[in-house]
Structure 1
Amino acid sequence: MEDAHISMPSFLCSSSKLVDLASSKSAPLHFFGVLDGHGGEACAEYCGDALPKQLKKSLSSGLPISASLVTAHAAVEVDWFREADRDDSGTTAVTALIESASGRVLASNVGDSRVLVVRRSGKSGSKVVALTRDHDGNNKQEAKRIKVAHGEIDQDGYINRGLTSTCVGVQTARSLGDFDVKYPIDDEDDGHFHSASVICTPELEWCDLEDDDILVLGCDGLFEASEGSAVWIGKMVRKLEAQEYTAQDTAEALAQEAIDMGSGDNVSVIVVKPS
Structure 2
Amino acid sequence: MNTRPAIQLSDVDKVYANGTVALRGVNLTIGRSQFVSLVGPSGCGKSTILRLIAGLGQKSAGDIQRWQPEDVTEPSLHELAFVFQEAALMPWASVADNIRLPLELARVPRRAANTAVREAIGLVGLSGFERAYPRELSGGMKMRVSIARALVTRPTTLLMDEPFGALDEMTRSRLNSDLLELWQQKRWTIVFVTHNVYEAVYLSNRVVVMAAHPGRITADIPIEAAYPRTEEFRTSLQFNQYCRQVSASLAGVWEDPLPSGTTRHSRDVAQS
Normalized against structure 1, the TM-score is what?
A: 0.29
TM-score between both structures, scaled by the size of structure 2: 0.29
Q: Could you say which structure has the greater relative contact order, defined with CA pairs below 8 angstroms and 6 or more residues apart?
A: 2
**Which structure has more helix as a fraction of its residues?**
2
